Amino acid sequence: MAEEGARASNHHRSEDEETRNKIMANKSLFQSLRGSLLPRTDTVNGAGGVAYKLGDEAALAQYVATGCLNGTFYYSAEDQLKKILELASKVDDLFLAKTAVYARKHAYMRDTPAILCAVLSVRDVELLKEVFPLVIDNGKMLRNFVQIMRSGVVGRKSLGTASKKLVQKWLNTASDDKIMAASVGQSPSLADVIKMVHAKPSDKSREAYLGYLIGRDVEFDILPEKVKAYERWKKFSFRPVPDVPFQMLTAHELSCKQWRGIANNAPWHMTRMNLNTFQRHGVLESKDMVEKIAKRLEDAAEVKRARVFPYQLMAAYMNVNDEIPNRIKDALQNAMEVALENVPEFTGNVVVCPDVSGSMHSSVTGYRKGATSKVRCIDVAALVAAAILKKNPDAIVLPFAGDVCNVKLNPRDSIMTNAKILASQPMGATNCSAPLKWLNKRKSKVDMVVYVSDNESWLDSNRWGYANGYATATMQEWAELKRRNKHAKMACIDITPHDGTQAKSREDVLNIGGFSDHVFTLLSQFSKDELSEGHWIDVINSIEISNK
């Protein structure tokens, strides 16, 4: 009997093991099935990895919010321009117009919104009339628009009647200060533009001013006061410098006192960009000037008015020489706090994932001979991560390349300090799913995941995935995380121009491009369920373009 009982027991154990094996096999089957129900990849990114193709509107928004028309790690300037024009041809005129306004007013871009205006000039002149004063809001933008039109990229090399009238109107209605600022720069120069459109001044004063700019003999007494002051100064350059763009003065030998006069009158951006120049010419030997410059840099209203990218302040801080007074360095950090005040405070458990892979070491504005920014994509990603940590001290920061990097940050340290630590992590391949896999392995509780990346993931890509239509590894790991955290959300901030993503946009996934502070506004709205189903695209569609 005992022997029979043992045999029966062994038999039951064998059945139990067989059942467990079946369950394990079914579990694998269920995992495969869950993966097959995820959205299938439909494109390959610049690195050769599988990805999801953005819709035409989302792709256009991505390109115009991040594209500086310089060569990036994966795409040339020519590729970007071609893609923008291709995408522009696939969206309707109204969305095109609203995207141009968004790119200028919220993304703070210069070249791409001017391109969209040029496209509108051959597609919908009435819409161009509406958005022109909203997008072409200073002399640099005016010269960009004219340069693009004359290049022939939109199918014509002349401005055309409507565009010419809009440029003429700008020349008539811009303030004297805007005209003076616009006169600095070439290719084309403002004088070239004036001649090109056969400007028709609205009054004697503006007629004299535009005539002066193209070298005509004009009645001196009716010129703007700053122009008259400048002309007098050129004859007697020992006098105090006039309040004009400093580029108009530096062709002359200037004394330390005159350089202090330039610094005294300098606008915010010019101040930020010329701190080392001021130091070299003795401006900062004066404590009064140091204090005045510091107060200008950290003035909240001035920072907001300047529409400064946070990374530009980071660049200024990183590039000042050792002789720059600490008061000014502190002012730059204070200005950074203002520029990043839109960084949201999230509820729940926050994870921020800055991409530190090799491609992220490329210039954030791309490569162009003589005009390549020293600020890299990795610096921007690190800055965003450090800023989120500052506002959310309990956040987990998971920098990643081929895998998650082991780094410890102190949320009480300055944003600059933590950004520097993150940006110094060793580079490697790109594996966007690595942070999610790290969280899943630990069964972490998560409410919000924020990626800052160029999205060119390839190490985690099944090379057959594109052909077979599998989900990306990022979406598969996200599905696993969502199984435990049903209300979790993921925001993917992209800082380079392309038309693919590792996580397909849906209710719980936001894809957004750009590096202005408006990204943080949308991030906050997303976290609070204040964005509609279309997310970023609906924000662009809600823009009011009428200037009547």
Dist CA 238 CA 480 (whole Å) = 73
Per cent of the chain over pLDDT 90 is 69
Over 80: is that where the pLDDT of 374 sits?
no
Average pLDDT estimate for 298-304: 94
pLDDT for 302? 94
How do residues 231-245 score in pLDDT, each as one tens digit?
999 888 778 889 898
Over 60: is that where the pLDDT of 29 sits?
no
How do residues 64-95 score in pLDDT, each as one tens digit?
999 888 777 777 888 999 999 999 999 999 99
pLDDT for 372? 65
Average pLDDT estimate for 314-332: 92
Q: Are 59 and 68 in contact (CB under 8 A)?
A: no
Residue 61 — pLDDT band, cuts 50, 70, 90? very high
Dist CA 129 CA 120 (whole Å) = 9
pLDDT for 27? 45
DSSP-derived letter for residue 72 is -
For residue 377, what are its two tokens? 């994509």
What is the longest distance spanned by two Cα atoms in the chain?
126
Over 50: is that where the pLDDT of 19 sits?
no
Dist CA 229 CA 144 (whole Å) = 29
Per cent of the chain over pLDDT 70 is 91
Over 70: is that where the pLDDT of 16 sits?
no
Dist CA 375 CA 397 (whole Å) = 21
Burial classification of residue 107, based on how many CB atoms lie within 10 Å of its CB (0-12 exposed, 13-18 middle, 19 or more buried): buried
Residue 200 — pLDDT band, cuts 50, 70, 90? confident
Residue 31 — pLDDT band, cuts 50, 70, 90? very low
Residue 119 — pLDDT band, cuts 50, 70, 90? very high
C-alpha to C-alpha distances, 172 to 77, 191, 403, nearest whole angstrom: 34, 14, 58
Average pLDDT estimate for 137-165: 93
How do residues 270-282 score in pLDDT, each as one tens digit?
999 999 999 999 9
pLDDT for 369? 67
Count Cβ atoms below 10 Å from residue 164 Cβ, excluding itself. Answer: 17
Q: Nearest-CA neighbor of 401 among 431, 360, 440, 424?
A: 431
Q: Are 13 and 20 in contact (CB under 8 A)?
A: no
| Mean pLDDT of all residues belonging to the chain | 88
Over 70: is that where the pLDDT of 123 sits?
yes
Q: Are 196 and 166 in contact (CB under 8 A)?
A: no
How do residues 51-60 score in pLDDT, each as one tens digit?
999 999 999 9
More confident residue, 40 or 368: 40
Average pLDDT estimate for 506-510: 95
Over 60: is that where the pLDDT of 220 sits?
yes
pLDDT for 237? 76
Over 60: is that where the pLDDT of 428 sits?
yes
Over 80: is that where the pLDDT of 465 sits?
no
Q: H or E element: which one contains 193?
A: helix 190-197
Residue 468 — pLDDT band, cuts 50, 70, 90? low
Over 60: is that where the pLDDT of 11 sits?
no
Residue 208 — pLDDT band, cuts 50, 70, 90? very high
Phi-psi region of 210 (alpha: psi -120 to 50; beta: other; left: phi over 0): alpha
pLDDT for 192? 95
More confident residue, 247 or 133: 133
Dist CA 418 CA 421 (whole Å) = 5
Residue 147 — pLDDT band, cuts 50, 70, 90? very high
Residue 366 — pLDDT band, cuts 50, 70, 90? confident
More confident residue, 497 or 4: 497
Average pLDDT estimate for 138-161: 93
More confident residue, 253 or 371: 253
pLDDT for 24? 45
